[in-house]
Structure 1
Amino acid sequence: IILLLIFGAIVYIGTAFEPAIGDDADATHAEAAKEMLLRHDGVTLYVNGIRYLEKAPFLYWLVALSYKCFGINQFAVRFPSMVAVLLLAWLAYTFGCWAYSRLAGFYAAAVMISCIGMFLFTRIMIPEALLTVCLTVAHLCFLQAYFGTGTRKRFYYGFYAAAAFAVLTKGLIGLVFTAGPVILFLLVTGKLSTLPQIRLVSGGAVFLAIAVPWHLLAGFRNEGFFWFYFVNEHYLRFIGQRLPKDYNKLPFFSFWLLHLVWLFPWSFGLPLLFKLPRFPVPQNQQTQINLYLWLWAGMVLIFFNISTSQEYYTFPAYPPLAILLGSAFASAEGKNQRYFLWMNGILAAIGLLFALGIGLVIWNNQNVPPASDISAHLNQSPADAEKYTFSLGHILDLTPQTFASLSGPAIGAALALACGFALAFWFRWRQNHFRATIAMVSAMGLLFICAHFAHVQFEPILSSRALAKEINQRWEPNAKIVFNGEYETGSSIGFYTNKQILLLNGQVTGMEFGSHYLDAPKIFLNYEDVRRLWVGSERVFLFTEDIKKEALLKNLNLPTIPVATSGGKSLLTNR
């Protein structure tokens, strides 16, 4: 486990310094934590001076604390999530050791720290990793108390406390994913009558003492909070009726099949888990723990299959699946080594085919000159296009010509998988299972590092830090920054300039509800407002996507001076 944690620190914390904070949710959430710190207000979130009431506060508290320690920068934004990744690996190991064996714990930690989903969905500031830590602690505490005796029963209080922090991390879903598996477990095992024995009164008091104060304070300080937060952001979001509609739902088959990608390369072990359930459930502890883990994972997966969903919403299902896989892999070392050999053989073939595919794409585009701005090789759409309502929508922008600018990371990734998986197969053939596992983890680590370098190459597309630098260099007293459209389109400019942003036709999405409070700053403009600013005596910076620039200039109908372009976005000024 020490080796895995060192691996995690190198890969996850080492890649937290760059690239810049991205536009959209990443910079919007980072800005909310920054304004929390600057306003000394840990109750009401603000973004660009507007109340931002749709999120629970725990992650923002941690990022604000990180700002205090490291300064206001992208590393501080990512640090709490990176620590959460390391905690998840350690928790998976601890859970696996307690429930099964040290070997199962080792495999569970390896799955958690090196699966694609873990790396992919910790690149931006979202609460999934922190929520999953809270859920894992809660379920580990519950099971230790349930199967324990004497002082072990005190772990029930850990369950209630962790459930409360899960609620403070992502709202009522934290309660659903902690209490739900417990109730189903007691129901299926015929032990629902033991519910009063889990210290409902004293444990409930612990839960309420932690979870309730922030909700009450937020409600007292913000009129309409309870309806907006609990009805609009929870119930209406679940049934797909939340306003404004800036979200989407994965198609049924994509939702399920993509988990083979999120858990890759360990998803090839999933067939080891599928056994017909036995009813009534046997009373031995290990069988009941297996059932509990399946109920935990199943509740998360089925809930988001019904609800609106993003690709990363099922992140809380990774720990129970990783622990089950850890148990299956530990058992396979002694009883089913042939399956292991086939699994690593298939992965070695996939690594080779991936390398050949990357090589072919790069060869076919060898005459394409690398672009100074990678957006020249992308098939971009406006930021409010439907495909970007999914977190990985920018993948659909890629074209074969993109690899002219990404040849280095692409070749590195191809070699990492081809060589790493081949080496793992060789070790597995020689029945050196530990080295085979380390080879797989190392291959994924090198893949993640290559993906990180590619991510840095995409910074002009995903972030507007370069344009923020241009503004900072030309800033004058009383200057103004105007966005053409919603705030999220260029939210990193607000983060990196520390200036309030005026929005042309931008009273939408995350800004809409908070804009109706009496203390909301007058930042929402129409074309006539922008024209008055443009011909005034103060400098105005106008930010727009290039796709929308022609229509903007036509409606503005005033001369503009170009300042800079980057990643399909432009910065104009009036003087």
Structure 2
Amino acid sequence: MDCLKFDHKEFWFKSLWVIVFALAVYATNMSDSDIRGDSIIYADIAKNILSLHSPLILHLNDDVYLNKPPLLFWLVALCLKMFGYTVFAVKVTVVLTSLSLSLSLFYLVARIFKNYNWAYLAVFCLNTTYVVYKATRPLRMESLTATFILLALVCFWLYLKSDRIKYLVWLGICCGLAIFSKGFLGLIPLAVMLLYAVFGDRNKLNWRFAGHFGIVLVVSLMVCGWWYVYISLKTDFIHHFFYEQTAARLLNGALQEGQQVVNYDKKPLYQYLYLMGRDYFMYIPFFLFGCYRLYRDKLSVDREGLRIVVIYAAFSWLSIHLISTRAERYLYEFYTIAAFISAYGIASIPKLKTVQFVNWLKVMGLAYMIFVMATPSKLSWNSYNELAELKQLSQNLQMPLLVNRDYFPNPNDRAGLDFFLEPEHIQSFDAMPQKAFLTVLPKEFQGDLSYRLIRKTRRLQLVMVLPR
């Protein structure tokens, strides 16, 4: 079949500028970036995999962590093993996952729609979307999960075109890895497969297609199911993950996370429209025009590919309304495919039909890299990175470094201390040592303590405690 012919050497040659652009956006100044929020928690969990020799049961702040599957943490732990417990090692993972996302979208558009110019523009639209950039630059699971979902969609298209079982196997592997990355979100390719049979091609509603769907399901379970069975037998995973995490988000509940109560307050259905208007305003006209042009051009573009894109975009948009929080990050998967639709709308503008959009990647990537490297001010916040320098100062001065863990009930602060410092540095003590020592205090510390401030970060005070 001609539609299945694809020159992979040409693809990798043409993807060089995609790689350069992704590196310019996500790798510039990576060793001096801040890790905070979920990023510092995930980094600490990955460190515990190595320090506790526990790759299957994850730990955070001395507790078992059951909120997420382990695939991303394994990848971070591998980078920490190679580069040490540093910000650079964490950012290597970020760069790898962001690069994989850009390449997977580039591959989907180039492979299915046979147009590299659209593919370049789709990558540009993707990485200049505020929510995608905001959720991809820190250490989060969105980019890794979206990578496997996009590759699964390509495999599904290849199956539709060829009817070959091997593509179902690859579809199951990608779907299983997506589930291994972020739980239920990884089921999207299976949902797209079922919806395609119902709305895309009614001829697929037969026992043969049901058997092929079963193959994908079995392969997916073989990839990730063993871990879910293991963790369910060893911990309280089923109650925590399915009730306290999933049901609370769907049913507008509240759950206890350590010493904090997290409320999932329900927001109105129109919340996502507001978020799109706020964060995606520059691409909304092109997205709508792209929808119109794809409908007009439906006979000249790949039929199966277009149906997959429409079903995925519609399902990812509608399904997030089941989550009561209506957070902007839940639009992430929708934006990955909206990037192609917006790109198609831009490329359909008559005056832009002859533009080589690879030049946009070259110019904007280079300009961003020069700006980040040349700016005299620090562009990132500084939450916990200075802890590594405090540890080095302790060694240079031969002065003990002692931190009272009771001062830090916040799980993010505890994770920052655990990641950058050693276990012997973090203790619980009532009486202060009678000699000078280095320590860390909360930013708004109000206790009876005589100290000299060394440095203040966005979250902490690094101080030298003086003997009385």
**Fold equivalence (TM over 0.5):** yes
Q: Is the 8 A contact 1:534 1:574 kept in 2?
A: no
Q: Which residue of 1 aligns with 2:454?
A: 564
Q: Which residue of 2 aligns with 1:95?
A: 108
Q: 2:22 aligned with 1:11, yes or no?
A: no
> CA 1:319–1:269 in 2, change beyond 3 Å: closer, same or farther?
same
Q: Distance in 2 between matches of 1:285 and 1:3?
A: 25
Q: Is the 8 A contact 1:494 1:501 kept in 2?
A: no
- Which of 60, 64, 83 is 1:51 aligned to? 64
Q: Which residue of 1 aligns with 2:359?
A: 438
2:152 counterpart letter in structure 1:
A
Q: In the TM superposition, what whole-angstrom CA distance separates every residue of 1:50-107 from its partner, at most 9, and x where no partner exists?
A: 2222111000011111122222222221223322222222222221123223233232
Q: 2:54 aligned with 1:41, yes or no?
A: yes
Q: In the TM superposition, what whole-angstrom CA distance separates every residue of 1:243-302 from its partner, at most 9, and x where no partner exists?
A: 134366676555334435655754441121333998xxx999734432321221222223
Give the TM-score normalised by structure 2.
0.81
Q: Which residue of 1 aligns with 2:420?
A: 496
Q: CA deviation at 1:172?
A: 1.8
Q: Which residue of 1 aligns with 2:141?
A: 127
2:393 counterpart letter in structure 1:
Q
Q: CA deviation at 1:328?
A: 3.6
Q: Distance in 2 between matches of 1:259 and 1:441?
A: 27
- Which of 481, 485, 488 is 2:404 aligned to? 481
Q: CA deviation at 1:433?
A: 0.9
Q: CA deviation at 1:316?
A: 1.7
The correspondence of residues 129-528 of structure 1 with structure 2, limited to 5 A, is: 129-149=143-163, 152-175=164-187, 177-189=188-200, 190-191=202-203, 193-194=205-206, 196-197=208-209, 199-222=212-235, 224-244=236-256, 245-246=261-262, 253=270, 255-259=272-276, 266-275=283-292, 286-307=302-323, 308-330=325-347, 332=348, 336-337=349-350, 340=352, 433-434=355-356, 438-439=359-360, 442-443=363-364, 446-447=367-368, 450=371, 457=378, 459=380, 461-470=381-390, 472-474=392-394, 479-482=402-405, 483-489=407-413, 491-499=415-423
> CA 1:242–1:287 in 2, change beyond 3 Å: closer, same or farther?
farther
Q: In the TM superposition, what whole-angstrom CA distance separates every residue of 1:333-363 from its partner, at most 9, and x where no partner exists?
A: xxx415x5xxxxxxxxxxxxxxxxxxxxxxx
Q: CA deviation at 1:44?
A: 0.9
Q: CA deviation at 1:110?
A: 2.9
Q: Which residue of 1 aligns with 2:92?
A: 79
Q: In the TM superposition, what whole-angstrom CA distance separates every residue of 1:173-197 from its partner, at most 9, and x where no partner exists?
A: 211x222222222211334514642
Q: Is the 8 A contact 2:61 2:414 kept in 1?
A: no
> CA 1:147–1:432 in 2, change beyond 3 Å: closer, same or farther?
closer
Q: Is the 8 A contact 2:151 2:174 kept in 1?
A: yes
Q: 2:442 aligned with 1:544, yes or no?
A: yes
Q: In the TM superposition, what whole-angstrom CA distance separates every residue of 1:390-427 from its partner, at most 9, and x where no partner exists?
A: xxxxxxxxxxxxxxxxxxxxxxxxxxxxxxxxxxxxxx
Moved more, 31-40 or 468-477: 468-477
Q: Is the 8 A contact 1:248 1:309 kept in 2?
A: no
Q: Is the 8 A contact 1:48 1:500 kept in 2?
A: no
Q: CA deviation at 1:40?
A: 2.2
Q: Is the 8 A contact 1:77 1:125 kept in 2?
A: yes
Q: Distance in 1 between matches of 2:283 and 2:336?
A: 13
Q: Distance in 2 between matches of 1:247 and 1:458?
A: 32
> Identity over the aligned pairs, expressed in percent?
16
3-state DSSP of counterpart to 2:439: strand
Q: Distance in 1 between matches of 2:401 and 2:372?
A: 41
> CA 1:132–1:571 in 2, change beyond 3 Å: closer, same or farther?
same
Q: In the TM superposition, what whole-angstrom CA distance separates every residue of 1:471-495 from its partner, at most 9, and x where no partner exists?
A: 5523756834333431313632322
RCO comparison, higher one (Cα < 8 Å, 6+): 2
Q: Which residue of 1 aligns with 2:129?
A: 115
Q: 2:42 aligned with 1:29, yes or no?
A: yes
Q: Is the 8 A contact 1:18 1:74 kept in 2?
A: yes
Moved more, 94-103 or 562-571: 562-571
> CA 1:26–1:50 in 2, change beyond 3 Å: closer, same or farther?
same
Q: Is the 8 A contact 2:19 2:99 kept in 1?
A: yes
Q: Which residue of 1 aligns with 2:3?
A: none
Structure 1: unaligned runs, 5 residues or longer: 341-430, 503-522
Q: CA deviation at 1:5?
A: 2.0
Q: Is the 8 A contact 1:25 1:125 kept in 2?
A: yes
> CA 1:167–1:78 in 2, change beyond 3 Å: closer, same or farther?
same
Q: Which residue of 2 aligns with 1:533?
A: 431
Structure 2: unaligned runs, 5 residues or longer: 1-14
Q: Is the 8 A contact 1:467 1:565 kept in 2?
A: no
Q: In the TM superposition, what whole-angstrom CA distance separates every residue of 1:431-467 from its partner, at most 9, and x where no partner exists?
A: 75116x62476336634764688897365x5412225
